[in-house]
Structure 1
Amino acid sequence: MTVSAAQTDAFYREALEHGTVWAVRDEGGFPAPATPEGRAMPFWSLQSRAQTIVESVPAYHGFEAVPIPLTDWRSRWLPGLERDGVQVGLNWSGLAATGYDLPPADVERNLSAREVSG
């Protein structure tokens, strides 16, 4: 399993377990940087994961980790990202803050499937 695949698996498991996802923001709002596949907004399943990116990736210095209740994220954020054509970055990690970026509808399907099987 690749690092990105392991991080994605952890995202679903931890987000469902804790009922929260984490984003980062600064005075300009929430970042949605360009990726090879288009724009993606990153989210993390634990505060510590988001905080590690803020502390170790220069592009995210000055950002703060903010919690989003999973129910709000699923009912408001994912549909909004889908409407805007923005992918969901799952547990980006490493010095370049990279990982899998998925369409919001796929993220919701994957969360729902894990709820049923979990």
Structure 2
Amino acid sequence: MSFDDQQVETFFRLQSNTRYDEVVNHCKKKQDVWVLQDDQGCLIIELGSEKVLPIWNDSSLAEQWKGKEYEGFSASVIAFADFSSKWLPGMVRDGFKLGIAPNLAGEGIVVATAEFARDIGVDLTTESH
């Protein structure tokens, strides 16, 4: 199911913590997540020394967010099984963080990958030390 324009607009008006909760609930239902990707790989945003992978709970949110700044990117789905078993452990190991459904102004919660995994009920057996 893809959000319509009104749903996208409404979602991006939500407070950051509400958008975070929406993505957590989406993932708890073992539903897929969306990232932006080009032929070089996934969009990673550098915030100071942090490397952040923005994720959304719907393709239309990712597509709307990219705007002109990231027009070479397109929404790409990550199956929840792969996200929880491969992506999350790899991101913890590599020290990446997650940007949870940033809004059109770029505001959103940046969270440690291990913390997000706990929030969605994924047990990461990989030690992050």
Asked whether 1:45 is paired with 2:54, we answer no
Asked whether 1:72 is paired with 2:48, we answer no
Matches within 5 A, 1:19-98: 19-36=31-48, 38-54=50-66, 56=67, 58-95=68-105, 97-98=106-107
Please point out which of 94, 115, 118 is paired with 1:106. Answer: 115
Please point out which of 11, 14, 19 is paired with 1:7. Answer: 19
TM-score (norm 1): 0.82
Structure 2, unaligned runs of 5 or more: 1-13, 123-129
Deviation for aligned residue 1:45: 0.9
Figure out how many residues of one structure are paired with residues of the other and give that number. Answer: 109
Moved over 2 A (4+): 14-18
Distance 1:4 1:94 in 2: 11
RMSD value over aligned CA atoms? 1.8
Specify the structure having the higher radius of gyration (Cα): 2
Letter in 1 for 2:21: D
Letter in 1 for 2:115: D
- 1:116 is matched with none
Distance 2:49 2:109 in 1: 11
Deviation for aligned residue 1:46: 1.1
Letter in 2 for 1:82: V
Taking a change above 3 Å as real, the CA distance of residues 36 and 6 of structure 1, as seen in their structure-2 partners, is farther
Indicate the structure with greater helix content. 1
Distance 2:58 2:84 in 1: 16
Q: In percent, how many aligned pairs have the same letter?
A: 26
TM-score (norm 2): 0.76
Letter in 1 for 2:121: S
